Structure 1
Amino acid sequence: MNDRTVHAVDADHAIRLCSVSRRYGSGDSAVTALDEVSLAFPRGTFTAVMGPSGSGKSSLLQCAAGLDRPTSGAVVVGGTDLTRLSERRLTLLRRERVGFVFQAFNLLPSLTAAQNVALPLRLAGRRPSRARVREALAQVGLADRARHRPAELSGGQQQRVALARALITRPEILFGDEPTGALDTRTGREVLALLRAMVDDAGQTVVMVTHDPVAASYADRVVFLVDGRVNGELTAAGADAIATHMTHLETAPC
């Protein structure tokens, strides 16, 4: 593949994993969390990652997001190979081009919603404008909650603040690690609908790890992992089809 082809591929994809392996420990006690995983995530799409416990979902997300370094292989974000960056440059890339939303909202209780949203820019040494913070809060439907602290917000509203905080840097890709896991069913669906709208209306790229077939049904495709390897995928699938596929994976003989 020549340079022109590589650039064309990266123009179409927000992120690519190329033969990524992640091993922990050494010798007889070594554990392979990811085993030669190759995946591409097209720009402006919503991908869910599922699999049985211990399948490598969290390791995949951490390596893809630059939170952990693969043992071998390459992770390419917008044409930049993360595995070749120094720790300083990797930190800068995560701040500027990658967003994170976790099951725990991780908001600072002493700060208002607006101050929590502005925090990533402040940590990067930039002064966020009030207009930009308002825009991020409005994007998640919380323009009227800017001065509220986390204790004054519902769980769903706190997760929306966390989404706004992740979006304030206008990241190329947004990673979610069980982002609705701590929410009740109705509120979780509202957050998922918001993620879906971000993809459809704003062209955001979203990669979400989840165990919930209903949550995964909001995605364009669902990628399944088993024992650190890709084990098929479904496109535009409903919750029942996803649940059935997961059941087969979990009951399949080793």
Structure 2
Amino acid sequence: MPVVQLQKLIRRYPNGVRALDEVSIDFAAGSFTAIMGPSGSGKSTLLQCAAGLDRPTSGRVVLDGHDLTALNERRLTRLRRDRIGFVFQGFNLLPALTAKQNVGLPLRLAGRRADAATVQRGLAAVGLAERGGHRPHELSGGQQQRVAIARALVTAPAVLFADEPTGALDSASGQDVLRLLRDLVDTHGQTIIMVTHDPTAAAHADRVLHMVDGRLA
């Protein structure tokens, strides 16, 4: 079964613009998909609807066996917290917290114990086992994004959504992050859906989807 299924997804804004125009696509478990397209093509809207951050006007989003379009806000928030990971262009780390504390934060917010061994394994998985005590300003941009990835993975999500994850990084740091994402798929079977404008980033994916005017081209 696909981890994510989008069925005839339409997202229409109050001004009449159709950001998504009957998009249907499946995302297999353990796959790495890149979504590309010009500005305004609907790629970010597609990711937001697939991740439950935005509600479509019509159509269905089924993620990990759950119909997101049928969930109320409380249940949708719980599902996002427990089964979905997010990585954005901005690292969104809390500056007052160490890398370890940032990684463990989703567990604490879910009312679960941020087990030190679990957090340490997460940091080790992204190559930062020795940097857990450092705060964001003591880390490079690439290292901060790695902490953000470890934080996104600490709840063992069914799917990781990445929105321009290398957009704020220099080319070398960006390549390091992309290699990490590729390894998460190849070694750990993680499902990743990534929006990017960069063909070099998209080349790390198994499949590239191109969007134009709210449709898959």
TM range (shorter): over 0.9
Query: Is the counterpart of residue 88 in structure 1 residue 54 in structure 2?
Result: no
Shift in Å, 1:200: 0.2
Q: Does 1:155 align with 2:144?
A: no
TM-score by length of 2: 0.99
SS in structure 2 opposite 1:120? helix
2:8 match: secondary structure: strand
Larger helix percent: 1
Match of residue 20 from structure 1: 9
Runs of 4+ in 1 over 3 A off after TM superposition: none
Which position in structure 1 is the counterpart of 2:87?
101
Question: How far 1:95 sits from its partner (Å)?
Answer: 0.4
Pick one of 14, 20, 24 that aligns with 1:34. 20
Deviations 1:161-220 (A, max 9, x none): 000000000000000000000000011000000000000000000000000000000000
**CA distance in structure 2 between the partners assigned to 1:183 and 1:17 by the alignment:** 31
TM-score calculated relative to the size of structure 1: 0.85
CA distance in 2, matches of 1:53, 1:164: 29
> Which residue of 60, 64, 88 corresponds with 1:74?
60
Distance 1:86 1:121 in 2: 22
- Partner residue in 1 for 2:152: 166
Residues 218-247 of structure 1 show CA distances to partners (whole Å, capped at 9, x for unaligned) of 00000011000010xxxxxxxxxxxxxxxx
Quick check: 1:111 aligned with 2:100? no
Task: Note the aligned Cα RMSD (angstroms).
Answer: 0.5
- Cα drift, residue 79 of structure 1: 1.3
Partners of 1:13 and 1:137 in 2: CA distance:
28
Q: CA deviation at 1:58?
A: 0.8
Q: Which residue in the other structure is 2:116 paired with?
A: 130
- What amino acid maps onto 2:146 in structure 1? R
User: What is the identity, as a one-letter code, of the residue corresponding to 1:92?
Assistant: R
Percentage of pairs with the same residue: 67
The letter for the 1-side match of 2:3 is A
The amino acid that maps onto 1:154 is S
Map of 1:248 onto structure 2: none
> CA offsets, 1:43-66, max 9 Å, x none?
000000001110001100000000
Structure 2: distance between partners of 1:132 and 1:118: 8
Q: Please give the alpha-carbon distance, in whole angstroms, between the structure 2 residues aligned to 1:76 and 1:85.
A: 11
State the shift of 1:136 in Å: 0.5
Instruction: Establish whether residue 181 from structure 1 lines up as the match of residue 170 from structure 2.
Output: no
* CA deviation vs aligned residue, 1:8-52 (integer Å, no higher than 9, x gap): xxxx21100000000110xxx311100000010000000000011
The equivalent residue for 2:45 is: 59
Report what 1:144 is aligned to. 130
Question: Residue 128 of structure 1: CA displacement?
Answer: 1.3
Structure 1, unmatched stretches of 5+, are 1-11, 232-254
Counterparts of 1:79 and 1:19, CA distance in 2: 17
Asked which structure has the greater RCO (Cα within 8 Å, sep 6+), the reply is 2
Amino acid at match of 2:10: S
Matched AA of 1:16: Q
CA distance in 1 between counterparts of 2:185 and 2:158 reads 12
